[in-house]
Each structure stands twice: as structure tokens, then as C-alpha cells.
Amino acid sequence: MEPVELFKRYDHNPLLTFRQMPYICNSVFNCGATVFNGETLLLLRVEDLEGRSHLTVARSADGVTDWRIAEKPLLHPDDGNVYEAFGCEDARITYLPELREYVIAYTAYSAYGAGVALAKTSDFETVERLGLTLAPNNKDAAVFPRRIQGKYWMLHRPVVGSLEHIWLTDSPDLRHWGGPYCILKERGGPFWDGRKVGANTPPIETPEGWLILYHGVKQMPSGPTYRMGAALLDLDDPRRLIARLPYFILAPQESYEVTGDVPNVVFACGAVQRGDDIHLYYGAADTAICLAYASTSEILSALREHRILEPLASPQLVNAR
């Protein structure tokens, strides 16, 4: 029997490898995804032969074939930002209609650690860096696609001692971030999401709540295994976790997921919605990019079986409502 996996793989994975790149590199993986000018646009994490990552744009009319990949990176560690000197990694792209701009949340890695940086673009040719937004050690940030309660919201994953939970923060202007609120915890123990959790794609708005696709890590004797799960946050108050699947919905199984620079990893940073379908662009084994499909309504119906209502994190939050 196959395990229940709500994501079904594209038949011809991997979708993109270093071999399709217009310049020499080690690997291409963990990409942000959006729709730009009617095409699917990916922001590839490209690791060079020194081991540092940069972010490069790829476009395709059907999101599957005929990728046109930029010759030059959009964001590069040599662009002059001291907090990015070791790399720009794992972009999550969110379109904000009211600004008519795309905000890119990415991991800025340097000798200071890994922090959260934001940048804005309207054309994917030039970017405006908003700079380091959340100090190290923090990563896996993704901005919500609209204001809620008049504010912008962002998921992130700080490292607090040995704990790596998903947190939420809010902002009036994308520059000053407050809160924060812990919304989804690593489960500890033997669980697939026991050792750490972090957001994968930006939140997906559904009639039943904000769909959060996230990764969970289980520490195996041979190393960590990265799988994907799903949870739901309240539409009007994303500080409330209202459902969480206890089991994973995509796990490393195919050869390109269990073998590579980092074995046993499926790690998405972006998805594109096509009607009810989620087209998930995920990194496999930190080496290649793959594609998988899921039905939003199937994930929601699975989540309906696992509803919870977590109390808000602290009394002042109740007062703040």
C-alpha cells in the first residue's frame, strides 16, 4: 500500500536541474513561484560552485516546459549587503495587489547567521531591497497576500534555543514588524514534524481559512528527513490555528528526493493556484526542482477532520482583539 499523499508528482520530474541553467552551477532547488504577465515565474535558488546561493528568474508559459532562465541573478550575495555575504536562499514570492508589487521574503545568510530579508519588485528585472527584516537566527518567512485587520502579516521561523516553531508577525508598512505570535509548534517526540517546522509556500486564501503548507523535520540517525504537511489559520485572525493534519502529505520517496546533496528532502517555497489545483514547485534533495499537484478542496476536507482551536498565545493578545 502506498502512503496517503495528497500531492501527486508530475510524471517527468525533476522539472529543472543544473543542466538546464544557462551558466555553470552546482544545483538549482527551493524556488519561489508566482504568476507574472500570464506566465509562471520561478525564483530559483541556485548554488554556485563555491557553495553560495543566489536567486535567478525562470519563466514558462505553461509552468512545465520551455523554461527561459535569466543569464544574470536577480539577488546575489555579492550585491553589497553584509548580511547576505554567504548567500540569498529560499525565496517566497507574494503579490500584493494594493501595491501592485511582488514582495520577496528570503533567507539572508552571512557570518552573523541566517536572517529574514525582504525585497520588492514590479518587473522581476530590478529589485528594491528592504533589508534585513528579522535578525538571525530566523528563516522560512512568507508574507500573506493581503492585509488583515489593516496590517500586513508574515510567517517566520526563529530558532529559540533548541525550539524551531512557526511564528507570525504583523506590520503597518512591511518595514516595522511587531507581535510576535507563536502559531504552530514542532511536535517533539517521534513525530514527522517533531524536530522543527517552518512555512513552505506563502499562505493560500481559501473560504475555510489560510491554508499553510509547511515542512516538518524528523531527526533520523542518518540525518534529518524533510516532509510537508498542512494546517489552517483563521481568515480574520491568523493568530488562531484552527486545523492541523497529524500526518504528512508529501515525503521523500523517489530517487531524486532521497539522493542528492542533502538526501531525504522535499522542500517547497512556492506554488501556483490553477482553479482548485495547487501546482507545487519543490526542491528535491537540495539538488533539483520538481512539480507536484494537489486539490485544495481535498486538503481542506482532510483538515476538516482535524479541527482544533488553539487559545491565543497570551492574555494581552486577547485584549488586543
Residues of the shown chain interacting with ligand BMA in the complex, contacts defined by CB under 6 A: 30, 89-90, 226, 262, 265, 267, 283, 286
- Compare residues 262 and 312 and give the one whose CB is closer to ligand BMA: 262
Q: Parallel, antiparallel, or unpaired: how do β-strands 152-158 and 241-244 relate?
A: unpaired
Angle of CA points 90, 28, 158, to nearest 5° = 20
**Helix %, strand %, coil % for the chain, to 5?**
10, 50, 40
Closest distance of CB 147 from ligand BMA, Å:
28
Q: Which is nearer to ligand BMA, 31 or 148 (CB)?
A: 31
CB of 264 to ligand BMA, least distance (A): 9
- Copy the grid coordinates of residue 304: 476538516
- Closest CB to ligand BMA among 58 and 300? 58
Q: Dig out the grid coordinates for 99 from the structure.
A: 501595491
Q: Are the CB atoms for 213 and 221 separated by under 8 Å? A: no
Q: How far is the CB of 89 from ligand BMA (least distance, A)?
A: 6
Q: Which is nearer to ligand BMA, 92 or 240 (CB)?
A: 92
**Shortest CB 215 distance to ligand BMA, Å:** 8
CA–CA distance, 266 with 226 (Å, rounded to integer): 6
170 versus 286: smaller Cβ distance to ligand BMA: 286
SS3 219: strand
Residue number with CB closer to ligand BMA (106 or 152): 106
62: left (phi over 0), alpha (psi -120 to 50) or beta: alpha
Tell me the residue ranges of DSSP E strands in 159-309: 166-171, 178-184, 196-199, 204-206, 209-220, 223-233, 241-244, 266-274, 277-284, 288-295
- To ligand BMA, the closest distance from the beta carbon of 90 in angstroms equals 5
| Shortest distance (Å) from residue 3 CB to ligand BMA | 21
